[in-house]
Amino acid sequence: MAVYNSGRMKISTTARIALSLSSGLALALAYPSYKLPLLGWIAPAMLIFATLGATPQSGALLGFLQGVIYFPVSLAWIYEVLRQFGPLTPLQAAGVMAAISVAGSAFHAVFGASVAWVSRKNVGAACVLAPFLWVAQEFARMHLPDVGFPWNLLGYTASGNLALVQITTVTGIFGLSWLVAAYNALLAWMAVDSFTPKRGRAAAIWAGATAVLVTIAWAGPRWVPRAQADHVAHLVQTDFPQSMSYPADWMQIHAGELDELARMSVSAAQRAPGLVVWPEVPAPFSLQDPRFAARAEEIARHAGHGFLVGEEDWKRLPNGSYGNVTNSAALLDPRGNQTFLYDKIHLVPFGEYVPWRRWLTFTGRMTADIGDFHRGSEYTVGEIGGGRFGVFICYESIFPNEVRQFTKNGAELLVNISNDGWFGRDSAPAQHVAMARVRAVENRRWLLRDTNNGFTVSVDPYGRTVASLAPDIRGQLDAPYGFRSDLTLYTRYGDWIAWMSILAAVVIFLMLGFRRKQTPRAELS
């Protein structure tokens, strides 16, 4: 059994593996719905500590092992989605889940290998590198062509704290990831320092950092301003069961439920004048369908303050027929005329389209009943009484740099429509709303989030959920909101801290690359 000896610190191979596996499990449990966010402040430290002094090859393995535990546990809902709506057999769904886990784990492997390589030259430099490298790998994972997936970034483990999440107005979510990763690196350094003859310096720094963070997290929320709302919207939660296909007479079969939703929408808007919002398409809704168009126009006219509805929008081809279909949000004015249309830009891979279809022919079954959607191209901003708004649809809420484009284009209010019915009642809906909430803070905008079956909420520009509707019920939420026109540093400059992290990592690698290799002494026992 190989044992790394640096001073009086000895880490066996078994201990390293146990630490990396424990790190993956602890990190997964830090996200909803496990409700153990404090684990995010210690989980990466276990992996960092395990890789210190290891060979790059061993570091890669340790990072990979962390990932293959972390991804299946934190994203367990993907398997259920594939099983229910793929539709795939249990073996096929497990295979896709394994492929996703391996792909994500590759980034953690690079992280582990890099920290290990630097630590064999300088342990302190490895701990300094770690937070920059963590952010860099998260950023790279977000930008994978066609399949980028920045779900459950490290910063979200701390975003539930009203004080700490305010940093995202300057840095975006990657700044919060850097902060949490830096604390973990400090914790790992303290663990190493405790084995050295002159131990104590790292512990003192860690204690000071912990005291500052605890004070901010505990006392900070009371100093966060409260936003004043001067408008109300009516977010309608349709609560339709999810289905892979719909019969041609669906509108007739569900006429009674559609009448109920129309009455609910109109009565709410007449009682408290305001915009009516329906979620991302929970059923075969299209304004090119005369039956649904008539209903939508009637709701808009009787509600009297605008009707924003998710629909499948079919584009007319030059020959007059309908061709490409988009996942869209349309606004109808009080006269029933369409005045705004946003076509979803960032589609869900293997859900709304199949990337690399030419090579991955077996995935056709996964979208056979949904078909390929056409991608939108413009971050459209619309107008309602009092200001301008932007709509992002479902999965787009996890891409911070894309949501900020609406604010840059003049949106003074953000609206997120989603159909989280695809997720069932696993952890995904809670994770999804937690990420969408950060978009409100990053851009200092009110966020109205309307879903088919939860979570339907109104979030203020500082991240407070000021109104919410219980999941899995049919109802409407009186959602307060206001308009803001100021631009945050994040809105202006985007993911600057991620680019800075990449640059810092490159500089550290280059500086250490010119140093003579200092391999720690190894023992066998």
Catalytic-role residue among 127, 352, 394, 442: 394
Q: Is 394 a catalytic residue?
A: yes
Catalytic-role residue among 127, 138, 280, 297: 280
**3-class secondary-structure state, position 326:** strand
Q: Is 280 a catalytic residue?
A: yes
Q: Is 127 a catalytic residue?
A: no
Burial 79-98 (b: 16+ CB within 10 A, else e): bbbbbebbebeeebbeebbe
* CA pair distance 74, 27, nearest whole angstrom: 8
- Vertex 86 angle, CA 84 and 87, to 5°: 70
* CA pair distance 245, 242, nearest whole angstrom: 9
Catalytic-role residue among 297, 344, 352, 412: 344
* CA pair distance 450, 271, nearest whole angstrom: 20
**3-class secondary-structure state, position 217:** helix
Query: Is residue 417 a contact partner of residue 279, using CB atoms and an 8 Å limit?
Result: yes
The dihedral through the CA atoms of 338, 342, 343, 349 has a sign that is negative
Q: Sheet of 522-524: strands edge to edge?
A: 9-12, 2-6, 522-524
Query: Is residue 461 a contact partner of residue 407, using CB atoms and an 8 Å limit?
Result: no
Query: Is residue 431 a contact partner of residue 152, using CB atoms and an 8 Å limit?
Result: yes
Q: Sheet of 413-418: strands edge to edge?
A: 381-384, 387-393, 413-418, 447-451, 456-459, 465-469
SS (H, E, C) 84-149: HHCCCCHHHHHHHHHHHHHHHHHHHHHHHHHHHHHHCCCHHHHHHHHHHHHHHHHHHHHCCCCCCC
Residue type (1 letter), 451: T
Prior bond of 471 cis (ω within 30°):
no
Active site residue ranges: 280, 344, 394
